[in-house]
Structure 1
């Protein structure tokens, strides 16, 4: 019987967690093609046959990671409140995205690697849940623009720009820190810059 066909024991839950954490490290460093089950098993401290008891293939491990990651990635945008103050809601969204980049750099790199490969394992989710959520929030942004509460810009590209500016600090962390040099807090400085940039861009009175 498959371990997913009955309630999992504490040991099984712990082993799945060990496998997924090790897989996240391996996939974020080597990408899907470069990662191996042997590397994941070694990182988890388990034998390869033990790993295969929980996940029958590398594809299944990767799929489990991406499924959990997509919800993590969508939650900050879902939290944008249509009834809130526009500038506050947009800035709060940008801060949540920057916090994700700071706290989940491996997940950000995993997502970036998947996209760079053409999203073969995430295309349905991107063209489904993600596209619908962006369209929904773009309508909210457009309404705020129509009401004169924020300056008029392309709402979808506004969301893209927030993604680009925040995820850069995870995906290119080594470059950012090398250029800034010692004594800098990239995420604190980025937060101040991004807030200044978007407030000036979106302030309806210029």
Structure 2
């Protein structure tokens, strides 16, 4: 790819001699990618894929448009990176399925982390929701591969818990759908929640209470020992 005029190989505007050090280049690149992804999440969440432009995203990130295209040649490439970014964060949250075979501990950790992600990355969740509402025109292949494989692996874990008599015989898919819908509600509908909360986002105490309530309801519904999960949510 040819460099934009007046930029160095990182896609950054050429600067003084101090900026030529490799360490500085790496730091500049990492910071630019962070700014671009943050701005892209916000713009895609507000305008959708069709309504957003790379110019809007570059302006939000505070960098020249040419620099954005150095990192992400097309809008679709940037969009897919945003979607993959939020999905990978969700995948990390689901590590509790692999790290703990106890359904109470595993699901308590998973629900808690998913709630935290909704609070910390609300725009990423909204981008995902908007894409699905439009029948996934950009990431359908992602749903049919990565998401399908991930879901199958978690369904197998839940079925093992059922076979062992550790939770009620519920449909594993619908259990996962319920967890996703409930936890992501706190991102996708955060404005509604704030409105019903007197015009203010949930404070720390209210959010901790929400996490406990969601966890207790889901664990009670599948016949797990919800009394243990309530204590673990705050640890």
TM range (shorter): 0.7 to 0.9
- Unaligned runs of 5+ residues in structure 1 are none
Kindly indicate whether residue 158 of structure 2 is the aligned counterpart of residue 158 of structure 1: no
Kindly indicate whether residue 128 of structure 2 is the aligned counterpart of residue 108 of structure 1: no
* TM-superposed deviation, 1:98: 0.6
* TM-superposed deviation, 1:87: 1.4
Contact 2:42 2:123 (8 Å CA) reproduced:
yes
Give the number of the structure whose alpha-carbon radius of gyration is greater.
2
Instruction: Quote the residue 2:217 is aligned against.
Output: 197
| Distance in 2 of aligned mates of 1:16 and 1:157 | 36
Moved more, 40-49 or 163-172: 40-49
Instruction: Quote the residue 2:158 is aligned against.
Output: 141
Mark the CA change 1:22 to 1:193 in structure 2 (over 3 Å): closer, same or farther: same
* TM-superposed deviation, 1:168: 0.3
Mark the CA change 1:191 to 1:2 in structure 2 (over 3 Å): closer, same or farther: farther
- Give the superposed CA RMSD: 2.2
Moved more, 121-130 or 7-16: 7-16
Instruction: Quote the residue 1:65 is aligned against.
Output: 82
* TM-superposed deviation, 1:120: 2.0
- Identify the structure with bigger relative contact order (alpha carbons < 8 Å, sequence gap 6+): 1
TM-score (norm 2): 0.77
* Number of equivalences: 202
Instruction: Quote the residue 2:230 is aligned against.
Output: none
Instruction: Quote the residue 2:55 is aligned against.
Output: 38
What whole-Å deviation, never above 9, does each CA across 1:155-182 have from its counterpart, x for those lacking one?
A: 1100110000000010000101111326
Mark the CA change 1:88 to 1:14 in structure 2 (over 3 Å): closer, same or farther: closer
Contact 2:104 2:224 (8 Å CA) reproduced:
no
Moved more, 97-106 or 119-128: 119-128
Instruction: Quote the residue 1:25 is aligned against.
Output: 42
Instruction: Quote the residue 2:33 is aligned against.
Output: 16
- Unaligned runs of 5+ residues in structure 2 are 4-8, 11-24, 226-235
Instruction: Quote the residue 1:187 is aligned against.
Output: 207
Moved more, 83-92 or 10-19: 10-19
Displacement over 4 Å in runs of 4+: none
Mark the CA change 1:36 to 1:166 in structure 2 (over 3 Å): closer, same or farther: same
Contact 1:23 1:62 (8 Å CA) reproduced:
yes
Contact 1:82 1:140 (8 Å CA) reproduced:
no
Contact 1:87 1:150 (8 Å CA) reproduced:
no
Q: Secondary structure at the match of 1:80?
A: helix
Mark the CA change 1:21 to 1:199 in structure 2 (over 3 Å): closer, same or farther: closer
Instruction: Quote the residue 1:97 is aligned against.
Output: 114
Q: Secondary structure at the match of 1:120?
A: coil
